[in-house]
Structures are given as structure tokens and as C-alpha cells.
Amino acid sequence: MPLSTDQLADVSEARAATASTLRPTVPALEALLHQPLPVLDHGFVRVVDYMGDDNAVVQAARVSYGRGTRKVSEDAGLIRYLMRHRHSTPFEMCEIKYHVKLPIFVARQWIRHRMASINEYSARYSILDREFYIPEPGQLAAQSTSNRQGRGAVLQGDDAEAVLRLLREDAARCHDHYALMLGEEGGGADGGYGLARELARMNLTLNTYTQWYWKADLHNLLNFLALRLDSHAQYEIRVYAEAMLRTVRAWVPTACAAFEEYRLGAFTFSASMLAVLRRQLAGEVVEQKESGLSRREWDEMHRALGRA
Amino acid sequence: MPLSTDQLADVSEARAATASTLRPTVPALEALLHQPLPVLDHGFVRVVDYMGDDNAVVQAARVSYGRGTRKVSEDAGLIRYLMRHRHSTPFEMCEIKYHVKLPIFVARQWIRHRMASINEYSARYSILDREFYIPEPGQLAAQSTSNRQGRGAVLQGDDAEAVLRLLREDAARCHDHYALMLGEEGGGADGGYGLARELARMNLTLNTYTQWYWKADLHNLLNFLALRLDSHAQYEIRVYAEAMLRTVRAWVPTACAAFEEYRLGAFTFSASMLAVLRRQLAGEVVEQKESGLSRREWDEMHRALGRA
Amino acid sequence: MPLSTDQLADVSEARAATASTLRPTVPALEALLHQPLPVLDHGFVRVVDYMGDDNAVVQAARVSYGRGTRKVSEDAGLIRYLMRHRHSTPFEMCEIKYHVKLPIFVARQWIRHRMASINEYSARYSILDREFYIPEPGQLAAQSTSNRQGRGAVLQGDDAEAVLRLLREDAARCHDHYALMLGEEGGGADGGYGLARELARMNLTLNTYTQWYWKADLHNLLNFLALRLDSHAQYEIRVYAEAMLRTVRAWVPTACAAFEEYRLGAFTFSASMLAVLRRQLAGEVVEQKESGLSRREWDEMHRALGRA
Amino acid sequence: MPLSTDQLADVSEARAATASTLRPTVPALEALLHQPLPVLDHGFVRVVDYMGDDNAVVQAARVSYGRGTRKVSEDAGLIRYLMRHRHSTPFEMCEIKYHVKLPIFVARQWIRHRMASINEYSARYSILDREFYIPEPGQLAAQSTSNRQGRGAVLQGDDAEAVLRLLREDAARCHDHYALMLGEEGGGADGGYGLARELARMNLTLNTYTQWYWKADLHNLLNFLALRLDSHAQYEIRVYAEAMLRTVRAWVPTACAAFEEYRLGAFTFSASMLAVLRRQLAGEVVEQKESGLSRREWDEMHRALGRA
């Protein structure tokens, strides 16, 4: 169970406390509010607050374009236009806050996104729980031979078991020793050594779970999702992005659909790719060698066109 | 009347639309929500949305400090501690969005604060109203003789009247010519010249009003207020900051009180000032000349101590 | 002459002061260093400092990818790869600082780019020169009838002359009155009124020139250029971007070529556009009506394919 | 030896390559350039590039204040004024880039500073070396009993030895198993399991060393240093800040002295503290209980006054 007893009590309390507001409110997101969506073996994502909705994007764009635009375009059309032309500021007008529990090595990737606010559980002040991420057997992949950052075939049988045993035993032993070093009774062994928390934590493995509050505006959240939903993103962060995408769909369905159409499902053709395309559309047969594209670009382009 | 008829209709509509929410809600801010607070002769500030409350600051700080801290400190004490030690991230967990109408020369100061999201009315797309800021006679100050950026005595009689006439006539004439250049019937004179909006706008004076949506988190809002509530800030932006301070008091009263105690009412003593203080507290009479402080620092320090 | 006598002396002095350094140095940019590139009638852009070069991008990417990658890809190939896949952090490792003189209405667009450092000439402290932007006759365009933010045909004959006269006279009169209000001898009329600078400035028109130091990293500079070199950008800011593009070509030729290939010359096809493309490449004749694309998207797509 | 053979060759090469430049150059920093300053047992900090100097701060401030200010204040006086009044933008005009090797748990604190550019060694692509931070015996502190984030007395004798043994053995075993999981020959045991790098890394402990390029402007660097040189900062990051402070002193000696005077050596008195000070300076004996200050504030204030 990913949430602690205290946290579950907080969720119940929060979900019981209905208030009346004059702010824009999204019933579909209210239905999800505070509830943890499970991710990996002990992690979760849950929305704890939000501000704005699809209409807040429209409202902000319209203050830019001024009076008279109201009738010109439908709201959905305007949102699609803004997304297509990468007008980012209207999407900054919506804000969302998540509570996330995640392995430390995932947190280290995630925090590279700087345009967000974070409060992380601090192991200088507090003691980390004995919880580690151990991959599902189906995720225990070999190093890809073609891609330096990718995964290849799934490990099988004894090999898989051996790896899982190493991961489990090392994480558990390191945490046991962490607890021992921290032990407040002193005198070593069972009593512990009373080591400072800020030092003892260095003995933990990178699959130990941490948690944080993470708050971002819709523009920066979509940038995060575009990168982390990509097929090249590491599986362990992609599953967080997928859970968040569900919350975005509930929150701002029109902006989310535009995001899927113009970002997730899109492909950018370089100047040279456009030149190749023009020749192909004119009926010419173009070879990679004389296309001006590298082998890799050629493949990426034709994969996007379903002709790989 | 600062709001247009359309905008007043929007306010009424927004204030009529009550919804039920599971989010933290602040009744004192709800009472102000959407309502314009008048600033200067045609400007206003109004809160159009918000997220979080005093408790959101506490909640974020507590995830950092972990379980067990709950009983250690009272909430107000924790917020005061965070403010005193400039822990900024918990204050980033609250967000607020304003709709502001302000003269362009004020907007140019305001936008220097980069950690905010802005959608401004665009004079490339739309036509700016014929509204200019003309100072109250009591604000028509002479250049300070002691301070290159300050104001001195208030202009009187004919001088004041002459200056006000220049400001009024120039702004009006420039806007009339702007309208003439834009005129869509063409053929010049009454019919106008049909000039592109993005060009015609360059004829407007800097006291013309513009408007924008401005969204920031509480930490960055307080940074903005600390600078713009300062006695050295220009009066015309300080009055906006004062109106916003009222909304912050309604929204997060504990954080706002801590801000007034530890930032607005505080004074930072340099290393050399501390050395002087120590000698003074020991009963020594210290002269500026041998204090290690410049005349200016000496005065700033003693003003803070009420001994100027 | 866009630079003041003082500034020209600074340029000469700076260009005479050769030093020896262990830092990466780019001779082609050193040749341009400190020299103003004229823009519009009184403006300029000049590079006053820089840090890093093409190789700094490679070096940063290689620390990410670690040992062993050195032989895998050629430097240029790596830079192209990073640009194609929007890896932004290696491009952040290069930094450049410009001194720019520009009309205030252009400065208001420019400052929307928040990821940069700016120090602007302050009219609270100092007096702005009597210099205004007046468009070339060939730039005096009518409002576009098809595009709310665009320009149409160029004004001709008497109309053009009338508009230019209005712009010139209003800017000049406003500045004369500004000088009069500031006049330090007091007593009105010739002696001036001694009004505070921070107030008098509000009488200036938006085509008055200001100046600033503007510093950004290469990643954010390229984002700025991508937006401001676009054919939809206003001419008056586009010419600044064009002058800056010349400096980028001298500074980081490989990164700049990749930028032109993968950003400036590129086009992003949405999911629906890709579906249309696939059908077209398969030889099918697709009509806009049943394409799933709006008229506008259809046109944008086919313009990119040279088949508008 | 903290640098690898490859890196040492890079340092020699970089230090041999003198170039001529028209940019501001700081001989005292050139003398340090590229050279690693050792930190902790295997870490280092080294400056790899920089832009600007003390004079760049002055130059930026002077464009803000305009002509005529040149004689008003001496350069050092201006820099001190800017620092005292927290004018941040002129300090943003200087930029510096470091190459740093540091334990992962230190990197996790460091990266909380978002206003910087980072390229970190990626364990998705490459294999981390078998190097861990093991504290000096003198740093092996017990948890403070008075401060939840602090250190108390140093562990002694058998206890210290036991803790060091645990840290050493766990880090070594985890890295051995990491190498085993990665082993490319497959088949388990000596041959390894061929696990994907992005997965295997999760078995490493938080004291494993990583490295990155870190680039920031002077304003943000000083913010980093102010926080991390503080006596409450964790020792393991403070020593990095101390090494960096040495480089800042060489680079911008005037700005650095002002920083030490107005930030490092300064203390901020709250409104209530100022009220107490005023009474004390008037000769009154004030008791904590009726001072309006908490015990903690009282102590902090009197420690700053050397009267704790």
C-alpha cells in the first residue's frame, strides 16, 4: 500500500471537506482530487490542488487579442491555434500541484525540469522508509545493442532471478545498515550508532523511494510530458507521465487533445527532409544516399510516415 | 469607470457562478474575488483566481521535514521560521492570478520581475482605449535635489497647471492621431489612413493605459511587493503594490504577517554595522568617521534604529 | 550616427585592449566584438562579450554521455543530433552579451523573453535623447485585411507623407515638452518646470529610443531568434534578430547551421497532417474538406511543401 | 587522484592553448583556470570558462543610471551600493562555468538551485566509476540532539570504525554487483548479466561520485554561496562552496568583498528585533519574555551581536 496510514487519513479528510468557491472548477478533476494513482511497485501520483481550466487559456489569449475576437474563433479552435503555433503564455495561466512518491533515480531525472516548484521529503530531517523499487520481471531488460540509452530483450530465467535477488538484497541490506547507523540507543549493534541523519542517508541505494510536492503550470507540465511520454524516455519515468496525462485529460480536455494532435502525434521535418518530401510527392524515387539525410534521419522520417 | 461594460458583465457573471470544490478555499479572498480595486485614475487590480492558502505552505514544509514534526511547532511558528530564514520553496506552493490595468510606463517597471506569467493586451491586434494617466496635483513632484531617482517638493499654482495641461494635451493629441492613422475608411483626414496597428501604436505616449493578466506564486509575489512597497519605489507602482498587499492579507494572513515582520519591517546590518552596534551596546560613543561606514550607510543604519 | 561620442570612445578603447586568455576564443566573433551593427534609423546591436564556442556544446554533451563517445560521432554530427532532438542544456553552456539601442515599442516585445538578463537605461535617473524611430516609406504598411496582426500594401503619396508628418511632429513635440517639464531652471516656459524625471518620461511616445545590455545563453538566444526571425514577427524586431543571426553565425557556425536546418527551415506536421501525407504519398488525391485539417492548417501544410 | 587520465590530458591541453582576445580578462582567474581544486576524498571543482569581471557589473549599472553618473561614485562604492540594496541585475552580467565532481547526495542538494545550467554525467549512457565518498573520521558526527538537521559530537573508537566499515563495504558491494549486472559477456556470475545501464544504476549508493558542468551568473552563484557557506549547510556541500568562494575572490574581488560585507557577515533584524535594539540602545534592560521575540529569535539576535 503506497500511502502511509497518516496519508490515507489526510486523503479522506481532504475528500470530505467540500467548500463553495467562485473560482473556475472542473468536476472531472475534482473526482480525482487527492486520490493516489498507483505507479510502479510503491509509488503514486495524486493531484492535490489546481487552478484554472480550458477557459482560463482562452481568457488569457483573448486579453492579448482584445475585444472583438470573441466571435472570430471558437474556443477549441483558438486553443488548437495556440498549441500549433507554440504560443506558450496562455497555457501558463493554469497551474497544478501533485504529490508524488518515486524512486530516487527517477527523481534525479525529473528534477532536471527547472520550471517547477518542489518540496521534497528531506532525509536530513527525517528517516526514509524501507521501500525500494524492484522492477517487474517483464521490465528487466538487457542493454540495447543498437542504442546506448535503450533497453533490449528481457532477461530470462536464472539470470533474471539472480539480478532481482541482487537488487533486493543490496537495497535491503543498505537500508538495514542505514537504520543501524541511525539507531538512537547507541553502543553499536542492536542499539545503533546514533549517526547524523544527513550522513547515514548516503548508504541508501538509488531505488529507495522518496516523495515530493511538485507544482507547475500547464505549459511547463506539457513540456515535461512531451519529453517523458516519448518512447525514448526511461520506462520508470514514463509511467509517471502516463498517470499524469490521465489527470490532464480530466482537467483541460481541449488543451490536452490539442497537445496530443500537435505535439505527441506530430513530427518535425527538417529543411532537408522537406526537400525530400517535395520530390517524393512529385513522384520521384529518392534514395537515402543522395537525399542529404543521414541514415538515422532517413529512418526517423520514414518511420513518421509509416514507411520505415 | 475603470472597467469596460463587457468587463463589468464578466465580473457579475463570475461572481454569480458558485461551484463546489474539494480544494483549499479562503472565504476572505473569495469575498474579494473578481472585484476591481481602483488604483490611480483609470487603473485597477483584481484577483481572478488563486490556489492554496496558509496551510499549503505548512503542508509543503512538512513534507520536507517529514513525519513527527507535526507536533513540534505550531503552524504560525513554522511559517514565521520559514520567512525568517528565507526558505522560499514552501511559499511557491501558493499561486495567484491578477487582472491589472496600468499605464505603460508602470508596466515597463513591473515586467522586470521575470518569475511570473503574463498575457498583455496586444496593440498589434487591437486598439488601445483613449485613457491616460494624469497625476493628481498632489503627486506632481519636482525632481529631488538629493536623490537622482526621487521626488522633491510638489509643484504649485501655474507651474502645476502648465505641466498638467501639457500631459493632457500631448496624450490626447497623440491618441487622436493614432486613431486617425488607424482610421479604416482611408483617404486621410476624417477617413483615416488605414495604417497597420503594429505601426500606429508607436505614436502613443507612455502614460496610455494597457492591461494584462499577471500570475505568480506567493514567494515571487512577496519579492515583488518587498521591492515595490519600498519607500524608494515610484509612487505610481507602489499604489498597485499596496492594493495587492490587501489581497495577500485576505488570502494568507499568517504568511503576510510574517512578511511584514521579517521583510517589510526588517533591516539588514552589514558586518561593519554589526561591529558598530556591538560597540554602541557596550556603551561606547562611536563617530561616523571612524566607524568604517560611509555617511550614507551610517544614516541608513541610524534611521532603522530610530536615531537618525 | 547611432552611438554617442562617449560610446564611440568606449568602442575604440575596448577594441584596442588585447589580452591573453586560456579561454575558448572565436576569431570570427572577435572581429565583430564591440562594433555596432546598425539597425533601423538610429538603433544598433553590438556584441560586448561572449563565453564558449561550438566546442563547448560538444564538451557539455560529452560529459553527459561519458567516455567512449568521443569516437562515436563527429562533433558536427553530435551538434546536429542535439538540435534535431531539442536537447537544450548543452546549448546553454554558451553565453553572449549584447548592447542594443532600440525603440521602446520594440523593447516591450523583446522583454517578453524572460530567460535573459537585462540592464536598461533608466529614465528615472537619466534623460532620454531626442531620437525617435520613423519608418522608411517602404515600411509604412496598411493594416492587413486578412491577418489581424499583419501588414498589407504600402501607403502611397500624400497618405504616406501625412502619416510620417504626424509621427515626426508628435514625437518631437512630446520630447520638447518632456525637456520643458524637466527644465531645471524652473519658473516655466524657457526655464522649465523642474518636474521629476520619473514623471516627465510618461510624456514620451513609444517610438523613442532606449538602450540596454541583454545577455542570454545560446539555447535561449536561438529560441528568441526562432520567434523573431519568423515571417510573422513584426519587421521592426525582425531586423534586430537578423543582425544578431549574423553574430551567431560568426560565433558558433556549426550550431547555427544546425539551427537553420532543424528549426528555421523546418516544419512540424501534426498527427492529422501526417495522416494526409501518408495518403498522398500512397498516390491518393486528398481534398481539404475530408482531410481532418482546417482550411488554415491545410494551407500552412501545403505552403511548407511548396504546393500552396 | 580525482581526475581521470583523460581529464588530466584535457587540463594540460587547455592550459597550453593561449589565445588573444578583446574580451575583459582577469589574470588572477586565468591562473586558476582549468585547474582542479580538490574537495572531499575524490571530488573537485575547477573553473572551465568565465565571462565578465568587476567592471562588467559597473558597466551594466551605469547603462541603467546613464550618463553623468560616471563621476558620482567610485566603482567600488557603486558595487557596494548595488550589493547593499540587493540590485541583482548588474551581477547577472558575469557568468562562470565549473566542472565539478561530487557525491550523488551532494548533487541532490545542489540541483535545488534552479537558476543555473547543468550537464551531468549520465548513467543511462555510461558506467559510473567505482568511487565513493567516505567521511574523514573527524566528520563522522552523531545526530545533534538540539537540531533536527545538525550534527553533534564526533563518533569515537569502535563505533566510528564500525560505521566506516559499513559505509565502505556497502558501497563497494553495491558497485561490484552493479558491474556484475552490467557485465557484457552474459551468462551470469563472472560474465555478468548484460542488464541495461539505466536499470543497473539503481543499485548504487548515494555516496557514489558523479560529475557535471555547472554554469551560473554571478548573482545566482552568490545566492548559492550565501546558502551553502552558512554554518547550517551540510559540511559536504559547504566545502564545495568554500572552494568556489576562492575562485570568486580571484575573479571579481570587489564584488566578492561586498558580498562578504553585506551578505555573509550581515544579519537581518526583524521589526520586533529592531524594537528591542532601540530599547537596549536607550539603556533599557530587556528580558526575552517581554521582548516579543521567541527564545530562538532572541538567541539568534544576540549571537549576531556577540552577546549570546
The domain that holds B17 is classified in CATH as: 3.30.1360.170
Feature table: binding site of C: 89, 109-114, 120-124, 201, 217-219, 223, 228
State the Cα–Cα distance between residues D284 and B21, nearest whole angstrom. Answer: 54
CB-CB neighbors (< 8 A) of B125 in chain A: 64-66, 69
In the numeric block, the cell 582542479 is attached to D36
Asked if A165 is an active-site residue, the reply is no
In the numeric block, the cell 571579481 is attached to D252
> pLDDT at residue D72 above 50?
no
> pLDDT at residue A89 above 60?
yes
Which contiguous run of DSSP H or E holds residue B151? strand B151-154
* Higher-scoring residue by pLDDT: A73, A4: A4
- Do residues C257 and C60 touch, judged by C-beta distance below 8 A? no
In a domain, D153, yes or no: no
CA distance B24 to chain D (A): 27
B19 touches chain A (CB under 8 A): yes
pLDDT of residue D209: 98
A30 and A118 in a common domain: yes
CB-CB neighbors (< 8 A) of C101 in chain D: none
Residue B41 in 3-state DSSP?
A: coil
Nearest to C64 among D25, D68, D122 (CB): D122
pLDDT of residue C71: 47
Phi, psi of C271 (to 5 degrees): -55, -45
Residue numbers of C between 162 and 191 with CB closer than 8 Å to B: 162-163, 166-167, 170-171, 173-174, 177, 180-182, 184, 186-188
A278 touches chain C (CB under 8 A): yes
The 8 Å CB, 24+ separation contacts for B76-81 are B76/B254, B77/D294, B79/B54, B79/B254, B79/B255, B79/B258, B80/B258, B80/B261, B80/B262, B81/D296
> pLDDT at residue A1 above 90?
no
pLDDT of residue C185: 72
> pLDDT at residue A67 above 60?
no
ipTM of the complex: 0.94
- Do residues A7 and A31 touch, judged by C-beta distance below 8 A? no
> pLDDT at residue D145 above 90?
no
Range of the domain at C53: 5-128+207-264
- The arithmetic mean of pLDDT across residues B271-283, rounded, is 95
A30 touches chain B (CB under 8 A): yes
> pLDDT at residue B3 above 90?
no
pLDDT of residue A147: 75
C195 forms beta bridges with: B142
pLDDT of residue D70: 52
Handedness of CA A48, A50, A54, A57 (dihedral sign): negative
Inter-chain CB proximity C125 and B184 less than 8 Å: no
The DSSP secondary-structure symbol of D126 reads S
* B108 labeled part of a ligand binding site: no
C211 and C297 in a common domain: no
pLDDT of residue B104: 98
Indicate the range of B135-144, B146-155, B219-228 predicted with least confidence: B146-155
Residue A130's pLDDT band, with cuts at 50, 70 and 90, is very high
CA distance A270 to chain C (A): 4
B101 and B118 in a common domain: yes
pLDDT of residue D150: 81
- The arithmetic mean of pLDDT across residues D16-37, rounded, is 96
In a domain, B147, yes or no: no
Compute the count of residue pairs across chains A and B with CB atoms less than 8 Å apart: 157
Residue A184's pLDDT band, with cuts at 50, 70 and 90, is confident
Nearest to C274 among A69, A267, A272 (CB): A267
Q: Which of A136-145, A299-308, B87-96 has the highest mean pLDDT?
A: B87-96
In the numeric block, the cell 558586518 is attached to B271
- The arithmetic mean of pLDDT across residues C84-101, rounded, is 97
Closest CA to C46 of C57, C35, C30: C35
- The 10s digit of each residue's pLDDT in C28-60 is 999 999 999 999 999 999 999 999 999 999 999
In a domain, B112, yes or no: yes
The C-alpha cell at A279 is 520530390
pLDDT of residue A2: 66
Percent above pLDDT 70 for chain D: 95
Q: Hey, of B206, B215, B234, B235, which one would you mutate to test binding to chain C, going by the most C CBs within 10 A of its CB?
A: B206
In a domain, D15, yes or no: yes
Inter-chain CB proximity D49 and C24 less than 8 Å: yes
* Residues contacting residue A224 through CB under 8 Å, at least 6 positions apart: A113, A116, A216, A241
A48 and A120 in a common domain: yes
A136 touches chain D (CB under 8 A): no
B289 and B250 in a common domain: no
Residue A145's pLDDT band, with cuts at 50, 70 and 90, is confident
Q: Alpha carbon of B200 to those of A50, C141, C162, C172: distances in Å? A: 40, 10, 13, 16
State the Cα–Cα distance between residues A95 and B50, nearest whole angstrom. Answer: 10
C292 and C218 in a common domain: no
State the Cα–Cα distance between residues D117 and C51, nearest whole angstrom. Answer: 14
B248 and B100 in a common domain: yes
In a domain, D176, yes or no: no
Q: Alpha carbon of B6 to those of A63, A84, B10: distances in Å? A: 12, 29, 6
- The arithmetic mean of pLDDT across residues D163-183, rounded, is 97
Looking at the annotation, which residues of C are catalytic? Answer: 228
Q: Considering chain A, what is the average pLDDT of its residues?
A: 92
C295 and C225 in a common domain: no
pLDDT of residue C68: 45
Phi, psi of A25 (to 5 degrees): -135, 140
Compute the count of residue pairs across chains A and C with CB atoms less than 8 Å apart: 79
CA distance D141 to chain A (A): 6
pLDDT of residue D73: 52
Neighbours of chain D (3+ CB pairs under 8 A): A, B, C
D297 and D257 in a common domain: no
The C-alpha cell at D97 is 562555468
Residue A6's pLDDT band, with cuts at 50, 70 and 90, is confident
CB-CB neighbors (< 8 A) of A183 in chain D: none
State the Cα–Cα distance between residues D60 and C54, nearest whole angstrom. Answer: 27
Nearest to C163 among B115, B159, B195 (CB): B195
- Do residues C18 and D22 touch, judged by C-beta distance below 8 A? yes
Residue of C nearest to B120 (CA): C112
> pLDDT at residue B137 above 60?
yes
Looking at the annotation, which residues of D are catalytic? Answer: 228
Q: Which of B46, B62, B80, B228 is catalytic?
A: B228
Inter-chain CB proximity B93 and A95 less than 8 Å: no
Percent above pLDDT 90 for chain B: 81
Inter-chain CB proximity C274 and A84 less than 8 Å: no
In the numeric block, the cell 511547532 is attached to B73
Residue of A nearest to C64 (CA): A149
Residue of D nearest to B261 (CA): D271
B217 touches chain A (CB under 8 A): yes
> pLDDT at residue B68 above 50?
no
In a domain, C154, yes or no: no
A109 touches chain C (CB under 8 A): no
Percent above pLDDT 70 for chain B: 95
Residue C189's pLDDT band, with cuts at 50, 70 and 90, is low
Closest CA to C119 of B236, D87, D23, B232: D87
Three-class SS of chain C: CCCCHHHHHHHHHHHHCCEEECCCCCHHHHCCCCCCEEECCCEEEEEEEEECCHHHHHHHHHHHHCCCCCCCCCHHHHHHHHHHCCCCHHHHHCEEEEEEEEEHHHHHHHCCCCCCEEEECCCCCCCCCCCECCCCHHHCEEECCCCCCCEEEECCHHHHHHHHHHHHHHHHHHHHHHHHHHCCCCCCHHHCCCECHHHHHHHCECCEEEEEEEEEEHHHHHHHHHHHCCCCCCHHHHHHHHHHHHHHHHHCHHHHHHHHHHHHCCEEECHHHHHHHHHHHCCCCCCHHHCCCCHHHHHHHHHHCCCC
pLDDT of residue A18: 95
CA distance A258 to chain C (A): 10
- The 10s digit of each residue's pLDDT in D196-243 is 999 999 999 999 999 999 999 999 999 999 999 999 999 999 999 999
Q: Considering chain C, what is the average pLDDT of its residues?
A: 92
Nearest to B19 among A25, A64, A69 (CB): A25
- The arithmetic mean of pLDDT across residues A160-189, rounded, is 91
Residue of B nearest to D263 (CA): B270
The C-alpha cell at B57 is 505552505
Nearest to D199 among A115, A122, A135 (CB): A135
Number of H helices and number of E strands within chain A? 12, 9
Q: Considering chain B, what is the average pLDDT of its residues?
A: 92
C111 and C81 in a common domain: yes
B299 and B241 in a common domain: no
* B148 labeled part of a ligand binding site: no
Report the number of distinct structural domains present in chain D: 2
In a domain, C134, yes or no: no
- The 10s digit of each residue's pLDDT in A218-269 is 999 999 999 999 999 999 999 999 999 999 999 999 999 999 999 999 999 9
Q: Considering chain D, what is the average pLDDT of its residues?
A: 92
- The arithmetic mean of pLDDT across residues B148-171, rounded, is 92
Q: Say which amino acid occupies A243.
A: A
A66 touches chain B (CB under 8 A): yes
CA atoms within 13 A on the CB side of A4: 13
Nearest to B20 among A20, A52, A125 (CB): A20
Residue of C nearest to A264 (CA): C271
Inter-chain CB proximity C268 and A281 less than 8 Å: no
State the Cα–Cα distance between residues C7 and C28, nearest whole angstrom. Answer: 23
D288 touches chain A (CB under 8 A): no
In a domain, B238, yes or no: yes
pLDDT of residue B70: 52
A243 and A283 in a common domain: no
Provide the b/e sequence for A127-157 (b: ≥16 CB within 10 Å): ebbebbbbbeeebbbbbeeeebbbbeeebee
> pLDDT at residue A68 above 50?
no
Inter-chain CB proximity B270 and D297 less than 8 Å: no
The C-alpha cell at D225 is 554561496
Phi-psi region of C188 (alpha: psi -120 to 50; beta: other; left: phi over 0): left
- The 10s digit of each residue's pLDDT in D257-273 is 999 999 999 999 999 99
Inter-chain CB proximity C215 and D93 less than 8 Å: yes
Percent above pLDDT 90 for chain A: 81
The C-alpha cell at C31 is 572581429
